[in-house]
Structure 1
């Protein structure tokens, strides 16, 4: 199983230069992937813009939207061009993770219809494939289209993986839930006649160091403030020590995860060092 790390774009107060330092240090530490999350009504940087900046600061590490909430964006052709541009500028390193999202306020702010988001995402994914194949709306993706991972929890989202994706990007949650959804995705993949296997990516929040518990409670309590009991579940599920983090990683590996993306609840660069040290003992 590979390990990726998310940029701390959702952590309040993070500075732009800190994000670029994270990108450089994540690559130097040997992480396979650098991911960014997406919200509109929040203080984070826009994902594809952030990955374009990260592409300029790195050379090898994969760059992933984990995930991009595509349906509140105005145009599939524009998203396809933006993604192709990041893919081109990075030398073919973009993985485009997409999902429908679950926040009505994001859609309201964008002037988009929340109730129609699933159907719109299906249509956007089909159109984006056509854009990349035609290359009239460039640039031409180097080495082929960006890899597309589809996220979401609903049956329609799991069906969407086989219909439009190259794999599944699971929302944060316990390993046993990931295992159940991954099995469902694989079944739908086989039944649809797709060849090979879908790539399975999971994510888990974490913080390490002496202030880890406080960082997790502050960040996830804020980020999931809309979600009631889910916020407390996320807080309890986030590892805050090396041993528990290694146990979490092993559980995801046993659940059939191809890559685990660790999402920091604190923005200090020491979080990368502590994470690399903890995962180095997980094998």
Structure 2
């Protein structure tokens, strides 16, 4: 199982210096990928811009959206151009994870329809994959296009994954992840796909003496729209080295291909502590 780490783009206060330090540090430690989340109405960095910066200061590490909400962007041709550009300039390191999203305010402020986002995403994925092979957008990305992943909790998301993508992104504890992985494989086979889907998991972490408090502050605020669920999400963050090591073992046993740890702080020392904790896992 590969281990990836998120860029702290949603925590607020991210500077060029800290982004560079996170990206280069993650690559130096040997993490498999750098992932970004996507929100429009929040004090965070735009994910594709952040990945472009990370691409410029790294050489090997994968660059992943986990996940991008493309339907509020409203312009598939522009999205195809942006993602193709990052993929080319990073020499083929971009992974595009997408989902329909759960925030109405992101759609409202962008003038797109929140209620039709599922149907819109189906059309968008069809068009996006076509545009990646269109010479009018630059050298066509036929055999060297970004890996496409689909996230989401619904059966419709699994159908989307089986139709268009190489795999799925799951945000769930290990036991629920294993169940979702089994469902993903069923949908995959039902759509006549060979092999198996790539299975990516995602979990929050916040280490050190103030780690638990930092997780409660950040995740409680970030998910405040969800009401009491916000505190459950905050409590699920991994806040000790032992919890990180146990998560690595549990997700590996659940069939995960890549586990991505999403930070709750821009403090680059979090990256150092995470690398040490992962190293201690059996």
Question: TM-score by structure 2 length?
Answer: 0.97
Alignment of 1:32-47 (within 5 A): 32-47=32-47
Mapped pair 1:152 → 2:152: yes
Partner residue of 1:13?
A: 13
In the aligned structure 2, how far is the partner of 1:202 from the partner of 1:221? Answer: 21
Residues 58, 18 of structure 1: alpha-carbon distance in 2 compared, 3 angstrom cutoff: same
Describe the SS at the equivalent of 1:159. Answer: helix
Q: CA deviation at 1:143?
A: 5.2
In the aligned structure 2, how far is the partner of 1:90 from the partner of 1:185? Answer: 30
Partner residue of 2:110?
A: 110
Gaps of 5+ in 2: none
Q: CA deviation at 1:139?
A: 4.2
Alignment of 1:1-283 (within 5 A): 1-141=1-141, 144-171=144-171, 173-283=172-282
Query: Conserved in 2, the CA contact under 8 Å of 1:11 and 1:267?
Result: yes
In the aligned structure 2, how far is the partner of 1:142 from the partner of 1:281? Answer: 41
Could you report, residue by residue, the CA deviation over 1:131-158 in whole angstroms, capped at 9, with x for unpaired residues? 1122322243385110000011111111
Q: CA deviation at 1:255?
A: 1.1
Greater mean alpha carbon deviation, residues 2-11 or residues 249-258: 249-258
Number of matched residues?
A: 282
In the aligned structure 1, how far is the partner of 2:63 from the partner of 2:96? Answer: 8
Query: Conserved in 2, the CA contact under 8 Å of 1:87 and 1:142?
Result: no
In the aligned structure 2, how far is the partner of 1:112 from the partner of 1:138? Answer: 28
Describe the SS at the equivalent of 2:189. Answer: helix
Could you report, residue by residue, the CA deviation over 1:37-66 in whole angstroms, capped at 9, with x for unpaired residues? 000001111111111110000000000011
Question: TM-score by structure 1 length?
Answer: 0.97
In the aligned structure 2, how far is the partner of 1:81 from the partner of 1:245? Answer: 37
Query: Conserved in 2, the CA contact under 8 Å of 1:201 and 1:260?
Result: yes
Query: Conserved in 1, the CA contact under 8 Å of 2:36 and 2:66?
Result: yes
In the aligned structure 1, how far is the partner of 2:5 from the partner of 2:195? Answer: 26
Which stretches of structure 1, 4 residues or more, deviate above 4 A after TM superposition?
A: none
In the aligned structure 1, how far is the partner of 2:180 from the partner of 2:74? Answer: 30
In the aligned structure 1, how far is the partner of 2:123 from the partner of 2:142? Answer: 24
Residues 142, 189 of structure 1: alpha-carbon distance in 2 compared, 3 angstrom cutoff: closer
In the aligned structure 2, how far is the partner of 1:92 from the partner of 1:142? Answer: 12
Residues 90, 201 of structure 1: alpha-carbon distance in 2 compared, 3 angstrom cutoff: same
Root mean square deviation of aligned Cα? 1.2
In the aligned structure 2, how far is the partner of 1:46 from the partner of 1:157? Answer: 24
Residues 70, 56 of structure 1: alpha-carbon distance in 2 compared, 3 angstrom cutoff: same
In the aligned structure 1, how far is the partner of 2:235 from the partner of 2:62? Answer: 29
Q: CA deviation at 1:244?
A: 1.1
Gaps of 5+ in 1: none
Greater mean alpha carbon deviation, residues 54-63 or residues 178-187: 178-187
In the aligned structure 1, how far is the partner of 2:109 from the partner of 2:261? Answer: 29
In the aligned structure 1, how far is the partner of 2:179 from the partner of 2:105? Answer: 30
